[in-house]
Amino acid sequence: MDEMLAAIVENARPRHGNGAVATYIPELGKARADALGIAIVTVEGESYDAGDSDYPFSIQSISKLVSLALALTELGEEQVFSRVGVDPTPDPFNSIMRLEMDRINRPYNPLVNAGAIAVISFLPYRESAARTSAVLDLARKLTGNNALAVNEAIYLSERTTSDRNRALAYFMRSTSILDGDVEDVLDTYFRQCSIEATVKDLAIMGATLAAGGINPVSGERVLSSRVCRVVRALMATCGMYDGSGEFAIRVGIPAKSGVGGGILAVVPRRMGIAVCGPALDAKGNSICGMQVLEELSREMRLRVL
């Protein structure tokens, strides 16, 4: 198994040349374009890895799964989905026009930026610090890594270069979707995006989602199985942004990508798989990561679709 993973990684690594590290957040531009790592954790708690599996990277949009799971746990599906939709969208991740066009003015789903920011604003915490702590705390339980932390340099870089996210947030407050202070809400958003992890950490998070909420390494129940099901369904339909359809065809597994180069894939009742390769395609998804997942899905017959 470890051999197969190593072969797949080395086979995919040269592809990074076609992509580019995200640079719109300057600090992300420092990532190693040729890094490539993979880790797998099964629902029985077995683990495998290959390549740069100890390379730390910011999880970026993968953190949207954490804040969504927290909101579903604290508020319930009905309350969350009365204010954010569950529809896939062909628009890019940072699109604003749908917020105005849509007759009901809701963000399309919790995995595009607008939806994720709205979800954070619903979380029932008075203070921004408490809200950020709650998200970080859940991320630690999902990965079983109590040392998981925000990378301050990336956080600061995000905060100073995020005009589009500010536009989304102010727009949503003008239409009464977003509650509270915009800068406060965005502070939690920028911090959760800047959480740093390795593919080993994320593979445990994936295994927890695959196992219906029980972390197979720590043995702790972290989420209800119902919440895991909702999160996995949204990963399958909206997790790879406007590349979700192509990913469903090529790989056929629920997954969520981040512009830090990470992709977290979840094979329900079987395993979590995390890959990281910072060179991205035009849609913001890791080029080598998708390649690795496609080959792995074929070799191990993982596709569920």
- Which of these segments, 52-60, 88-96, 189-197, 199-207, binds a copy of itself (CB under 8 A)? 88-96
- Number of neighbours of residue 3 by Cβ within 10 angstroms: 8
For a copy of itself, the closer CB: 32 or 173:
173
Count of helices and strands (H, E) across the chain? 13, 10
Of residues 2, 6, 36, the one with CA closest to residue 19: 36
20 binds a copy of itself (CB under 8 A): no
Q: Which of 86, 134, 193, 207 binds a copy of itself (CB under 8 A)?
A: 86
**Mask 222-261, x = binds a copy of itself (CB under 8 A)?**
-------xx-xxxxxxx---x-xxx-xx--x-x-------
Q: Note if 64 is an active site residue.
A: yes
Give min distance, CB of 274 to a copy of itself, in A. 19
Give me the catalytic one of 47, 58, 61, 157. Answer: 61
Q: Are 264 and 249 in contact (CB under 8 A)?
A: no
Q: Which of 21, 48, 64, 292 is catalytic?
A: 64
Among 138, 151, 156, 257, which Cα is nearest to 196's?
151
Q: How many residues bind a copy of itself (CB under 8 A)?
A: 49
Which residues 262-301 are close enough to bind a copy of itself by CB under 8 A? 268
> With respect to a copy of itself, which residue has the nearer C-beta, 139 or 210?
210
Is residue 304 flagged as an active site residue?
Answer: no
Q: What is the dihedral angle through the alpha carbons of 89, 160, 274, 37, rounded to the nearest 10 degrees?
A: 130
Distance of CA 18 to the CA centre of its chain: 23
Integer CA distances (angstroms), 276 to 40, 192, 217, in order? 12, 18, 21
Instruction: Pull the structure tokens for residue 62.
Output: 């993968």
Point out the catalytic residue in the list 185, 259, 266, 267: 259
Contact indicator for 252, 304 with CB cutoff of 8 Å: yes
CB of 113 to a copy of itself, least distance (A): 12
Q: Binding string, 169-198, against a copy of itself, x = CB under 8 A? A: xxx-xx-------x----------------
**Exposed/middle/buried for 147, CB within 10 Å: 0-12, 13-18, 19+?**
exposed
Taking the complex as a whole, the smallest distance from the CB of residue 93 to a copy of itself amounts, in Å, to 13
Q: Which is nearer to a copy of itself, 85 or 216 (CB)?
A: 85
For the CB of residue 90, give the shortest distance to a copy of itself in the complex, in Å.
4
User: Could you confirm whether 61 is annotated as catalytic?
Assistant: yes
Q: Which of residues 92-111 bind a copy of itself (CB under 8 A)?
A: 95-103, 108-109
What DSSP designation does 161 have?
Answer: T
Catalytic residue among 162, 189, 199, 275: 189
Token couple for 300: 């191990």
Least distance between a copy of itself and beta carbon 104 (Å): 11
Written as one string, the DSSP assignment of 185-208 is HHHHHHHHHTEEE-HHHHHHHHHH
Euclidean distance between the first and the last CA atom of the chain, given in angstroms as a whole number: 23
Interface residues with a copy of itself (CB under 8 A) are 85-90, 95-103, 108-109, 163-164, 166-171, 173-174, 182, 229-230, 232-238, 242, 244-246, 248-249, 252, 254, 268, 303-305
Active site residues: 61, 64, 189, 241, 259
